[in-house]
Each structure stands twice: as structure tokens, then as C-alpha cells.
Structure 1
Amino acid sequence: MQFHPSGLIAPENAAGTLVSEAARGEGGILRNQLGERFMSRYDPERMELSTRDRVALAAYTEIKAGCGTPDGGVWLDVSHLPRETIMTRLPRVYQTLLELQMLDITKEPIEIAPTAHYSMGGVWVRPEDHGTGVDGLYAIGEAASGLHGANRLGGNSLIELLVFGRIVGQAAAEYSTGLDAQRRSAEALDVARAEVDELLAADGPENVRALQRALRDIMTEHAGVIRDENGLRQGLAELTTVEARIGDVGVHPDIAGFQDLAHAFDLKSAALAARATVEAALERRETRGCHNRSDYPELDPALQVNLVWSGPGSVARETIPPIPDEIAALMREVSSVGKLVE
């Protein structure tokens, strides 16, 4: 899981909203609560222009060392920049902070903290066409592991859509034209309807939104920017408790709509993804890309593999397959177009 260095802390309903890295690119300065420009300790050459994983790690380290703001963040300050620069180069950042916090960034610093941003893994897919193993179902982009290995550089996500979007589109078209009918599983439909009916009938004492918050807090505390064995195992124990509580949720749609039901589905899927993330993080006993293990700070060449999670306690090592020729050719084509644009 890659962490973006600058997510908002407040207001609570907008926590995690990203502040564009353009703010640092235009000359924004990061300071801790003591007023220190702390990036000089972590990357004295690039300072705030360092890679997002280094900046997130630096901010997290400062916060954990007790040098964070009262709300558990650091300061991102662009107020020293000319107002014209902020209004022309950072208009969305200016507008967002004004709307969410009534904060004028031309005069005041922004309180930020590292925020879970981009998943380096996802649904297992066949490398040649990104089929999922379910006939007719494909996954690309952030739903699946892609081209970026252990870390994604900012702005590179679209390459997955450009490369695999074309390949998957062709594969899906060929699959569809080869069908004599669109087959649907009555059993699968019955299972889906039963799950919806079960949640709609749920009238337990547990609040869905409270459990979502509990899940978020567990992952932040135990599977955040820096992980270790003890923390991850404690996280698993707390996840088990939350999973048991999910069985006692109450779902109460009202005249305003079915948001409670949507949150219940989100909670169930988030709990599943959380367990997969923590169990895989336990198994990856090394530091690689955006995955930081304080108890295993070095990279382990033997772990240059995909970890495939297929249920609680089941994590298998899968050799990374070679890039198919067609995909390699598309990647070169996209890269050459990018250079022309530059």
C-alpha cells in the first residue's frame, strides 16, 4: 500500500482528502510542530521534492517521534509563495481548503498527514489478458496489480489503462463474439439476492459507520507507513474482533435512501481487503518499494514474487511471469508517445 504524504486531517468527514503534490512542486515547505524543516534530515538534496514514499516516511517518523502537530500531522506551508503563484498554479488546493476548512493557504499552513493512497496489488489476473479466472470478467488499473511493481511514481497510473485497456478490450470482444448466448447463473443470482435480503433484515446492535471507523483505525495503527511483526499480529487480532462484530450489524434504510446498505457492503469488502493486506504484509518479511518493515529493513531478493492471498491464512508465493511480447510492445509505444508529448 503506497501512502500519499499529504492528506487532510480535518474536517473528519473529509479526512484523507489529498493535497496535490503540486503544492510541494511549486515550493511548499514541510515543517514539524517545532518549526523545523525536517526533510533536511531525510533527503537533504531533494528536500520536499523527494519521492512520495520518502516524504510520507519522513512525516510519519516525525509524528511518531512526538514532533507532530496536536492533531497528529505536520505542516505544509505555501504561504511564503506569491499570491499570484498560488491562485494560478494551485487553484484547486486553494479552493479545497477554503471550502473544507475556511483556511486561506496564502496566509496559513495546511495540516497534513500521510494517507493510504494507491494499492500496489489487487485482484489476481492472467498476465496475458488480465482475465480474472471468472469467465468474461476482467480487471485493470487500480483493481489489479499492474506495471508498477513495489512502488508507483506519481502520474504513472494511466499507463495501466492505456496498455491493458486495449488488451482487455480486445479479449472481451473476442470472448463476447464467441458466445451463442449470455449465460447467467441462477445460483449466483440467488446468493446475491440472499446477501442483500440478509443485510436489509439485519437489526443488530452494531453500527456500520462505527465499525468502518474501527477498521480504519486498526489499519492506520498496525499496517501504516511502517510495519513490524508485533504490530501486524496485533492488527490481525483486532481485525478478528471487528469481523465478529460485523455479524451483529444493524442496517436501517430510511426515506433518504439505502446509504446504510451501501456502507454495510463497503464494510464487508473493506474487512476482507484489510485481512488480505495484513496477512500478506506479515509474509513479506523485507522492505521493498513502499512496503516498510522496521524489523526487516533490507530487501530480500528471494521475495521478488507476488504474494497471492486466497482466504484467511492462505498466502502463496507466485513467480512473477515475464512480460508478454504484446504488452512489452505496447509499453514501448506508450513510452515513445509520452516522450513526444514532453
Structure 2
Amino acid sequence: MKKIILILLFLPLFTYAQDGYSWNQQRQAEQNRQIQQLQQQQRQQQQQQQQQQQQQQLQQQQQLQQQQQLQQQQIALAQQQQQQRAAEKARLEAEQERIKKEQERVRQEQERLEQEKLRLAAEKERQRQEYLVKLGNYRDNEVQVQFDKIIKERNLSIQAKKDMEKIKSELLDKTWWRQQDNVLLIGVLASQINAFSNFLLDLIEMNLPPNPVATYSREILDQTLKTGDFNALVVAQTIRDGVIADKITAGSTLLQLSKIFKDFGQRIGESTELPESQRRLRNEIKSQIQRIDQEIRRYEIEIQKQDNALKAKQTLLNSINDYLSVNRN
């Protein structure tokens, strides 16, 4: 009983003890939980702080890198600008040097051109004076020399005259006619007459185209003097044109007779047989030759009356004199 009482007495205390113990455990657990939460919070804070620090460090590193990059860019830009300034300075100096050289080249070229201009002017003046001296010599000497030489071309060719006399003596010789073969006579006569006609042209040295015209004139001579092409050939050709004009005037009938006689010989050559009377043919040939001889004698008289060559000479002298009077200082 006593034990039961004691048990009963201690039961509340035990219960209290048990309850107190359970409460303590709960309290302890709560404390532990709070501690754990606090620790967890601390850890989280530490982690956050670490993350923040890492982020700050990363940001600092990035900022530092950016600053370094910016500095490098600034340095590179400064170097580039310096290089550009140096290059621009070098370019400007080179351009100034080029301009200076170009100006010097232009100056030298202008000086050279001016010297060349003066040289050409001096050479032109020298040539002009030389040309004037040459023209004076032509006027005083060459024109007369050429005239005396070329005027002789109006005379009959001695060789052609001999050749004509030989053929004429055969054509007018009865013995020659008797000695010819009748079969070949037509061809021989045609050949002889053709040769005689050609020698007639050679006689007065006028193998010219139909209706030749003298080409000398004052206008042509004046133009030739202006262009500086006046020379001994011009002098000779001008006088020769005058001689040709004299020959045409004095020998026009002789030229016609030469053509008539040549055509006569051609008709004989085209014949198939001799005329019935050789005497009549021989007399016709003799008549034409005699008329030609008569016209040759007339030519020798008429040619002395012609003055075209003399006019050509005077035209030369007048043209030269007028040119010299205008162009001599």
C-alpha cells in the first residue's frame, strides 16, 4: 500500500518529468531547427555574399578588361592617328616636292620651248634671208642662164634632120623603088612613112599630147614664191613652157602635116595590094614630103618671131622682183 501511495505520490512528478522532458526535447528540437534555419540562412547569406563578391569581382574584371580594352583602343587610335598624321605629313611633303619638281619641270620646259622658239625663229629668218639671196641670184644669173640654154630647144634637132633626110632620099629615089620586092613594098613604105613622121616630131622635139597648153603663169609663180618652193626647176620649167608655146604657135601646121603623112602611111599599110600606078603613089609621097620641107623652112622663120619664151623669162624676173621688194628689210 505504501508503495502504491508512493507511486501515486510520485506519479504526477513522473508525469511532470515526462512532460517536462518532452517539452525540453521539443524546445531543443525547435532550437535546433532554428539553429539549422539560422545556419541555413547564414550559409545562404554567405553564398549570396560569395555570389555577390564573385559578381562584383567579375564585374570588376569586366570593367578592368573594358578599361584595358578602352585604353588599348585609345592607344591604338592614338597610334593610328599619329601614323595617319605622319602619313599625311609625308604625303603633303611628297606632294609639295612633286609640285615643286613639276613647277621646275614646267619652268624648264617653258624655257626650252622659248629657246626652241627663238631658235626656230632664228632658223626661219636665216632660211628666209638665204631664200632671198637665192632669189636674187636667180634674178641676176640663173634665169638668164636657163633661158640661154632652153631657148636652143626651139631649134630643129640635127640628128632627127639627118634621119629624115636618109628616109626622104630613099622614098624619092626611083632606083630604091625598083629594088624593092613588090610583095614587101607595102609594109616597107608604111614603116618608112611612120618613121619619117616620128622623126618629124623629133625634129622640133614636140612629142606632145593633143592640144598641149603652156602651164606657166604669174599667179602660179607668185604662189610658188610664197610657199618657198621656188627653185631652179621652176625657172627651167617656166622657160620651157614658153618654148613649148613658141613651138606650138610656129609648128602647128607642121604637126598637122606630120599627122596627115602618118595617117597616109597607115592607110598604105592596111592595103592588101599596091596601087595600079607606083608612079602616082611615089608622086603623092613626094608631094607630101615637099610640103613638109616647105613647112619646115617656114617653121625656122616663124620660130624666131615667137616671144612666149621671152615673156616667160620676163614673168619670172617681174615675179621675183616684186617678191624681193616686199620681203626684203
Category of TM-score, reference length = shorter chain = under 0.3
TM superposition score normalised by structure 1: 0.20
Which structure shows the bigger proportion of residues in helix conformation?
Answer: 2
Query: Bigger relative contact order, structure 1 or 2, given CA contacts below 8 A and separation 6+?
Result: 2
Which structure shows the bigger proportion of residues in strand conformation?
Answer: 1
TM superposition score normalised by structure 2: 0.20
